[in-house]
Structure formats: C-alpha cells, structure tokens
Chains A and B, each alone.
Chain A
C-alpha cells in the first residue's frame, strides 16, 4: 500500500492508531507537539481500574511496531486539502503530504483558576488532581507546603464538569473514579489521614469501578459527602475551610482540611479551533470535534479523508480511547477500499 496517513497527536490514541495502521501496511507519520509521546497518560502515576503503573501501560506502544515516523516537537502552521491530498505545513518549513489525516489531538485539562471560589492559585494547599499525580510520580517529600503530614484531605469532584458557570455542562467521565483512586493512593501514603470526597453523583460506570468505590469505603474508610463545594477560605494555620451543603443530612456543613484536591475535568483541545479553520471540520457546542454521526460513525468527520481517534471528540478513558483508535483504523481502511472501488 502506498497511502500515507498523518496522525495528529502522539498520545495513546495516536500511537494506537499508528500501530494498527502500520500492521495493515499503511505508511504513517505521527506528529506530536511535545518533546515526548504518551500524551496525558505519560503524566499519570497509576491508572484505574487495576492500579497499574501508567508507564507500564505506555510500554505497549513501542516505536518499532510503527512503520513510519514519529515526529516530536512539531508545530503545525497550516493544513491544505488539494486534489484529495493533505499538505501539512510545519513551523520549520517542512511540508508533509498525506492521503488522509487522523486527528488524535486529545483534550486539555480544565483550568482550575476559572473556579476562583475554590481558591486554586490563591491558597497554597489547593491543588489539582493532575498535580497530585505528579506528586505520586516524583515521590516528592512534601505534599503540604509547610511540610506538615496531612491529617485531612478533601477531594472535590466535578471541577470544570457539569458546570454551566464555566461553560462545561457535560460530564468528563473519568474524574469520579480518578477521585476514588487518588483517595486510596493517599490513604496508602498517609494511613492516618482522613480523606473525604465531595460529590454530586458518583458515576461508577466502568468495569470494576463500583468495586473500587466499595473498597474505598470498606477497606480504606474514605468518606463520601454528597454536596458540591461552594467556596473555600484559608484559615490562619494554612488549612482550608470547605463549605458545602450536606445534601444527605439536609444541612450546611463546614469542615477544614490540610489539602484540597480538585478533580479537574476534560475540555476541548486547544488545537481544535485551528483544525476547524484549516480543514473545515465541525466542532460541537463545547469545542470538541463533532462527527456527523456520533453513534454509528464516531470516527468520521464531515471532511472526506479526515478521521477522529480518542478524546478529541469527547471525554474518554484509556480503554475507550484505545478502542476508539482501533475503530478509527477500520474507518480509514474502509475509506481507501471505497476510493479504490
């Protein structure tokens, strides 16, 4: 086969797409913005539901499985479609020609500064779930800036998700289980600490998620308080006062914690607007890339030859992303079979 497929993004969606397309004999080129592949997963410590090291998951995609190139540090400046060929222009002047493009550019994390009432960027001991992952990874000495061992930790669900105030009314899908996973990981490091999860609903939809939730309650004594965080304030000793309505007790509740972890949701990739401009693809209300038929053709766009894989079209967990990438490969194959008649 002569067809060359450009894959935008070297996260797990892009790597899986590249790997599967290679096996089918396509020539692939992966274009990664960062200096390292693996996307967000490269930043995580352990992944749910089996608490496997994220690095071990990433080992699945070795470059030698991919016939073609993986280019890192790539900055795309324009993409043109002419006579059924895609011309991809890079910042360094290089041009890449491809017969099809698979967008696997993923998602961005919600910027927690936008929920200013939660104190992120204002108070020392308010961090995001992504920062907690990097703490787990680097085994940093202190989690609390003062060096204190945390006695109480509050994990806040739905930060930047299911929130019209910040323009994201959708559910990011992975934060509920991430919160429970991180609560367990925190209890393993600090067995004496009390860990509280503040939630509206717990959406434990995936395989074993409910078991992990139950284990968190039963084995680790993690406490779940149903009530969305309204506001935080910092007390003189550096602890953070949380105010929620305990909706199961029907009363307002206040509680001070040494550390607040904000479970930040997924938002559209920042490159989506440019991809729309260059390729003429459609975006949904929230800026994710919109397949014309999200149920039956989730990997196809309104532009022939442009395909979608992974979280660029909607929030997805790792398993869903891998499946979606494989599904994209089938769509690409079908496209070329059709072109050949």
Chain B
C-alpha cells in the first residue's frame, strides 16, 4: 500500500452524543464556579504560559464541557499554576482550582 499517497483524515467533529462528559460533571461538582464561565478568554490572554506553549485555558474548559478529553492532559501540563487567570476572571471562576481538579480527575 505504501507510496500511493492516500490517507484517511481523522474525524475532527465533536460527537456530543458519543463523548464522555462525566469528567466535566465531576469537575463542576467539585468546583461549581466553572459553571459561570462565559468563555471571554481573559484567562488565556493573561496566561504567562500561553505565550510559549499551546496552553489555552478558555479552550480547555470548552473542550472539557464537550467531553473532548484527548488533548486536555497534554495541555494541562503546561500550566504553572501561577493564578493570574483567577485575578482577571470577570465571573469569579476559580480557574486554578478548575485546572487542579481536572488534573486530579484525569488521574495525574
């Protein structure tokens, strides 16, 4: 088969019905302030780590709520837990604790 130059693209659609959203429900149960997130991106904008890595806190929260867990763990490793994101959040989400809780729930 080698050398034909054809390949299959991976499905990148979010299949909401098939995804496992239990981690999201456990995290929001332990840190309910996550429910107030309005995805404004203040956290991602102020993130020191995001300047050098793919860490995007806003997007991590979105992907978690959709049950898209594939890349979460990798990106969460880039967080330095400095807490700047908590200081800028306009909705009072305890962003650092959300990240710590996701890490725990994903069995770090």
Contacts and interface: CB of A to CB of B under 8 A. Distances in A.
Contact of A254 (B15, B37, B39, B91): B15
Q: Binding site of A, secondary structure by majority: helix, strand, loop or mixed?
A: strand
Interface stretch (A2-10, A87-95, A244-252, A278-286): A244-252
| Range class of the B interface residue count | 20 to 34
Interface string B72-99: 0000000000000000000100000000
Given A218-B32, A218-B35, A218-B36, A246 B66 contact: yes
B65 A223 contact: yes
Contacts of B17: 254-256
| Range class of the A interface residue count | 10 to 19
Contact of B13 (A214, A217, A253): A253
Contacts of A246: 14, 62, 66
Contacts of A251: 12-14, 68
A166 to B, nearest CB: 27
A249 B36 contact: no
B59 interface: yes
B68 A254 contact: no
Interface string B18-43: 00000000001000100111110000
A256 B14 CA distance: 12
B12 A248 contact: no
B58 interface: yes
A253 B16 contact: yes
A252 B13 contact: yes
B50 interface: no
Interface string A236-275: 0000000000101111111110000000000000000000
A248 B36 contact: no
Contact of B14 (A214, A226, A249): A249
Contacts of B12: 251-252
A221 interface: yes
A53 B28 CA distance: 33
Interface of B: 12-17, 28, 32, 35-39, 58-59, 62-63, 65-66, 68, 91
25 contacts: A214-B36, A217-B35, A217-B36, A217-B37, A218-B35, A226-B39, A246-B14, A246-B66, A248-B39, A248-B58, A248-B59, A248-B62, A249-B62, A249-B66, A250-B59, A251-B12, A251-B13, A251-B14, A252-B12, A252-B14, A254-B14, A254-B15, A254-B16, A256-B16, A256-B17
Given A217-B38, A251-B68, 11 more contacts: A217-B35, A218-B32, A218-B36, A246-B14, A248-B62, A249-B14, A249-B59, A249-B62, A251-B12, A253-B13, A253-B14
